[in-house]
Amino acid sequence: MPARFTAFSADPITVARRLLGQRLVRVINGQRLAGTIVEVEAYLGADDAAAHTYRGRRTARNAAMYLPGGHAYVYFTYGMHHCLNIVCGKADEGVAVLLRAIHPTEGLKRMHRNRPSAKRETDLCSGPAKLTQALAIDRSLNEIDMCASRSLFLERLRSRALPPSRILCTRRIGVDYAQEWADRPLRFLIKDTLWASRGR
């Protein structure tokens, strides 16, 4: 069994790059649902107009983003979808990485039951809402410590970040409201992956 990935204390860009190629694990009643992270986005806190903590905003919804690195920030959006972020840095920094897509490798039958609309495996976890639905991640997991949790955590498959030649950097998806911040290259994905979200 690989060791846990717990290197969340760095800035969100560094953490985002390091997360690519690591394994996300969700355990439900002893069954593992897991996959390799292939796509992420970095959110840089108070200066980032696309971040939920822009200008130091603090609400009941985004409270988890002010916890120390390694905590889960799960939010509900558009009245229908959950998204999973991993908080980075130190307490009160308000920075995080959004997990956008994984290559599912364990528990696929259960994932398909959770997402019956997914006709192909490449569509099973190819987006932040698809990922959380397939892995049954919701607000009940908000604020958990992913360094200690037995139900949601990461396993280290790589000791180092992928080389820059294997990482594609693009603008983030769905943040056009953030003006100049919408064009910042803060979305990172493994080049040539078949498992990333649309817009790749």
Q: Is residue 106 part of a domain?
A: yes
Average pLDDT, the chain: 96
For position 127, what pLDDT does the model report? 96
* 52/77 Cα distance (integer angstroms): 12
Tens digits of residue pLDDT in 98-116: 999 999 999 999 999 999 9
Tens digits of residue pLDDT in 88-102: 999 999 999 999 999
For position 1, what pLDDT does the model report? 76
Q: Is residue 200 part of a domain?
A: no
Q: Is residue 199 part of a domain?
A: no
Domain count, the chain: 1
φ, ψ at 75 (rounded to 5°): -125, 160
Q: Is residue 84 part of a domain?
A: yes
Identify the domain containing residue 100 by its residue range.
12-190
pLDDT at residue 52 tops 60? yes
Q: Which residue has the tokens 């990172």?
A: 188
93: buried, middle or exposed (CB in 10 Å: 19+, 13-18, 0-12)? buried
Q: For residue 55, what pLDDT band results from cuts at 50, 70 and 90? A: very high
For position 80, what pLDDT does the model report? 84
Q: Is residue 30 part of a domain?
A: yes
What kind and span of H or E run contains 81? strand 81-87
Tens digits of residue pLDDT in 39-48: 999 999 999 9
Q: What's the angle, vertex CA 11, arms to CA 154 and CA 105, rounded to 5?
A: 20
For position 200, what pLDDT does the model report? 42
Q: Is residue 67 part of a domain?
A: yes
Q: Is residue 5 part of a domain?
A: no
For position 199, what pLDDT does the model report? 56
What kind and span of H or E run contains 168? strand 167-170
Q: Is residue 4 part of a domain?
A: no
CATH assignment at residue 119: 3.10.300.10
Radius of gyration of the chain (CA): 15
DSSP 45-63: GGG-TTSTTGGG---TTTG
